[in-house]
Amino acid sequence: MMQAVIQATMDFLKLYWAPLLCGLVIVAVLPLIVGYIVLVERKLMADMQARLGPMRVGPHGLLQPIADAVKLLIKEDIIPDNADKLVFWLAPVLSVGAALLSIAGLAIGPAFQIAKDINIGILFVVGVSAMGIFGIVLGGWASNSHYSLMGSLRSSAQLVSYETAAGMALVSGLLLTGTLNIKAIVEAQYNEGIWFVMLAPVAFFIYLVASIAETNRAPFDLPEAESELVAGYMTEFSGFRWSLYFLAEYTNMIVVSSVATTLFLGGWLRPFARVHFFNFLDYVPPLLMIGVAGYCLLRTPKQPSRVQQLFMLAVAGLCLALALVLLAPVALPIAKPLYAGIHGGFWFIFKVSAYIYFFMWLRFTIPRYRFDQLMRLGWQFLIPLSIVNVLVVGVALIVGSYFNLHGWSMLLVTTPAAIIALVVALMILAAGQQSSAGKENAPASDFYAG
């Protein structure tokens, strides 16, 4: 019996050592990545708000995430007396577990995917990441506090409603490929020579809005709305548990951006991947890196202390090394086979960053929705629009295949479809305004029941 178990384990390891290793690396590195995303967010926020942001820990606050992590780790772990201990313990773990697990399905470049070529690809990512909702709901309930409970009620209602819209948007995107396999989706975009965001712009828009709501980001950050519910479901959490929630939130951001990138923005493909005329775009990544390195070098003499100067030099060196790595597949014929992997990774991360940047930009710019407005937007605007969009995209595809259209010529049928969807959207909006004008002071009462 013992031997059989050992045998099974060995078999398992022999088959799956590579994904396991990748998984370990992701679990180990992701907190760091998230930490730096938070730093970038704070820096961006500072930039937009006419201030400097973190500057004290390391040059330009570059070591701030590490300091924050240490602080969170050594903080006292408080569990409220009347909390449900088991659930309180379980909830953040669930949240983070679901978020990390869903990363397994993502493909960062054609070469790097943990769970390779799963048949249900994108559904796996979406479905597993949706399980994170349990962490939020149970965490809020277990804290035994009214603020937490309201936060988790809000969040479950919000997630359930916006998941529908996001799912429908994904369906209209998937109609274009006819497969769930992530690799096949990107390859379809390569073969068509066009990103699906052009063919299904309305679906992309719906997914954009719904993904912001799903990750509880402003302007849909009601479950943790600071000014209303203190911190929503996280109110009673502190120290490491709290940071787990934080980790989950930012990981979810990465996940939704990756899904959008894969399905709508051409995944790891360079812009105009099949057009030789645009081959010069291959030099953009190394040049970008060299530019960053140059900027760092330029700023080095202005750093106040020697340590900081060295640090800046190190960053510049790192960027230069990256530039070399990115340059190699383009310049050296020997390294040509590495092109897809390296440049694919670059473009994928670039697009994901752009998507996340948009999230952050929104957060600093616009106020927060009220809960009834959020529900109305979800149920009365996004969901009908997404259903209509699925229909029109389907019809457009049938018409397109009837005329045997491919690639850019598909725009001939999908653009009218998008316009129809937009007109419907405007009609829905107009109708909504008419109906809400009469009851401006009486916001929908039963939004929890949704």
Partner 1 sequence: MLDKVLFYIFAGLAIASGALMVTRRNAVHSAIFLVTALLATAGIFLQLRAEFLFIVQIILYVGGIMVLFIFVIMLVNLDVALQQIQFARQKWVALIVALALSAQFGLMLWSSEKIPGQGIPVLAAPPASELPANSEAVAQSLFGNYLLAFEIASVLLLVAMIGAVVMAKKEK
Partner 2 sequence: MEAERETTLSSEATTENKTLLGADELIINMGPQHPSTHGVLRVKLKLDGERVIGSECIIGYLHRGVEKIGENRTYQQFAPYVDRMDYVAAVSNGLGYCEAIEKLLVVEAPPRARVIRTILTELQRIASHLLWLGTHALDIGALTPLFYCMREREEILKIFEKYCGARLTTHAFRIGGLQYEAYDTLEKDVERFCKDFESRVAEYETLLTQNRIWIGRTKGVGILTAEDAIAFGVTGPVLRASGVKWDLRKAAPYAAYDQYKFEIPVGTTGDTYDRYLVRMEEMRQSRLICLQAIENIPAGPILAKVGKVLKPPPGEVYHAIEAPKGELGYYVVSDGTVQPYRVRIRPPSFINLQAFDRMVRGHLVADVVAIIGTIDIVLGEVDR
By CB under 8 A, is residue 442 in contact with partner 1?
no
**Count of chain residues binding partner 1 (CB under 8 A):** 39
* Residues near partner 2 (CB under 8 A), total: 39
Under rule CB under 8 A, which residues in 368-397 are in contact with partner 2? 368-373
Q: Does 103 bind partner 1 (CB under 8 A)?
A: no
Q: Verify binding: residue 248, partner 1, rule CB under 8 A.
A: no
3-state secondary structure labels for all residues of 184-241: HHHHHHHHHCCCHHHHCHHHHHHHHHHHHHHCCCCCCCHHHCHHHHCCHHHCCCCHHH
Task: Output phi, psi for 215, to 5 deg.
Answer: -90, 10
> Does residue 363 belong to the site contacting partner 2 (CB under 8 A)?
yes
Select from 251, 230, 241 the least CA-distant residue to 146.
230
- The residue (of 370 and 406) whose beta carbon lies closer to partner 2 is 370
Point out which span in 28-36, 50-58, 82-90, 284-292 binds partner 1 (CB under 8 A). Answer: 82-90
Q: Near partner 1 by CB under 8 A, which window of 73-81, 85-93, 235-243, 425-433?
A: 85-93
The alpha carbon of residue 69 and the mean position of all alpha carbons in its chain are separated, in whole angstroms, by 22
In the bound state with partner 2, the residue whose beta carbon lies nearer, of 163 and 221, is 221
Which of the residues 41 through 100 are near partner 2 (CB under 8 A)? 45, 48-51
H-type alpha helices, 49-84: 64-74
CB of 136 or CB of 269, closer to partner 1: 136
- Shortest distance, position 239 Cβ to partner 1, whole Å: 23
The partner in contact with residue 187, picked from partner 1, partner 2, none with C-beta cut-offs of 5 to 8 angstroms by kind, is none
> Residues 31, 58: contact at Cβ < 8 Å?
no
Question: Which of 32, 73, 120, 412 touches partner 1 (CB under 8 A)?
Answer: 120
CB of 338 to partner 2, least distance (A): 43
Beta bridge partners of 259: none
Residue 227 is a binding residue for partner 2 (CB under 8 A): yes
Q: Detail the DSSP E strand segments found in 5-79.
A: none
Residue with tokens 């937490």: 148
Scanning 86-94, 193-201, 265-273, 420-428 for contacts with partner 1 by CB under 8 A, the matching segment is 86-94
Q: How far apart are CA 111 and CA 374, in angstroms?
A: 40
For the four alpha carbons of 228, 234, 239 and 243, in that order, the dihedral sign comes to negative
Q: Measure the CA dihedral 237/242/244/250, to 10°.
A: 130
How near is the Cβ of 368 to partner 1 at its closest, in Å?
Answer: 22
Write out the binding residues for partner 2, residues 201-220 only, by CB under 8 A: 218-219
Strand partners, 293: none
Hey, what are 79's tokens? Answer: 């569990």
Stretch that binds partner 1, among 133-141, 257-265, 275-283, 309-317 (CB under 8 A): 133-141
Among 28, 367, 402, 438, binds partner 2 (CB under 8 A): 367
Query: Per the structure block, which two tokens stand in for 287?
Result: 């040049």
| CA angle in degrees (0–180, nearest 5) for 36-359-353 | 50
Q: How many CB atoms sit inside 10 A of residue 123's CB?
A: 15
Q: How near is the Cβ of 440 to partner 2 at its closest, in Å? A: 4
Q: What are phi and psi of 113, to 5 degrees?
A: -150, 135
Q: Is 101 in the site for partner 2 (CB under 8 A)?
A: no
Q: Identify the residue among 72, 123, 335, 338 touching partner 1 (CB under 8 A).
A: 123
Span between the terminal Cα atoms of the chain, in Å: 52
Q: Which is nearer to partner 1, 102 or 261 (CB)?
A: 102
Among 202, 188, 165, 120, CA closest to 396 = 202
Residue 107's DSSP bridge partners are: 113
Segment contacting partner 1 (CB under 8 A): 19-27, 154-162, 288-296, 360-368? 154-162
244, 92 Cβ separation under 8 angstroms: yes
Q: Does 292 bind partner 2 (CB under 8 A)?
A: no
Q: Verify binding: residue 342, partner 1, rule CB under 8 A.
A: no
Instruction: Report the C-alpha gap between 225 and 373 in whole angstroms.
Output: 14
Task: List residues binding partner 2 (CB under 8 A).
Answer: 45, 48-51, 146-147, 149-150, 153, 218-219, 221-222, 225-230, 363-373, 440-443, 445, 447-449
The site for partner 1 (CB under 8 A) is made up of 4-5, 7-8, 11-12, 15, 84, 86-87, 90, 118-120, 123-124, 126-128, 130-131, 133-134, 137-138, 141, 149, 152-153, 156-157, 159-160, 163, 180, 445-446, 448-449
